[in-house]
Homo-oligomer: A and B are copies of this chain.
């Protein structure tokens, strides 16, 4: 398993026949989505309750947030703790496993911050190109 991890990106997930590894594909499907990155970002500082989280991710619906949280919990990335009180409270916190994702996610996130302008320009250029194909 370590030998796989040590491969360069070029070889990552590829076996000798150059086919991409199925297990990584499955996991990427589980974790490589916008809300997971943003939720983990929000929680990596300190635990948050459902509605606190919802306010951080302004624009997310409670349905989408619930679904994303369930998947992250199921995958062991974060923990859900019900705090019994008169007004029920549910606290979400990052697990040790989730912590190991912090670095990769930060790298991704930092990239988006640093390159958003470049990407925007590329999009403009691309859209101009096929607007006038002559």
Contacts and interface: CB of A to CB of B under 8 A. Distances in A.
Interface in A23-41: 23-34, 37-38, 40-41
A58 B104 CA distance: 25
Copies of chain A in the complex: 2
A33 B31 CA distance: 9
A57 interface: yes
A16 interface: no
A42 interface: yes
Please tell me the size bucket of the interface on A. Answer: 35 or more
Contacts of A19: 55-56, 58
Main secondary structure, interface of A, reads helix
A9 B41 contact: yes
Given A12-B106, A13-B38, A113 B32 contact: no
- Residue in A9, A34, A97 with the greatest tally of chain B CB atoms within 10 Å: A9
Given A10-B46, A104-B107, 14 more contacts: A1-B113, A9-B40, A9-B106, A10-B42, A13-B41, A13-B109, A18-B55, A20-B58, A74-B123, A76-B118, A76-B119, A76-B126, A97-B119, A104-B108
Interface of A: 1-2, 4-5, 8-14, 18-34, 37-38, 40-42, 44-46, 55-59, 73-76, 97, 100-119, 121-123, 125-127
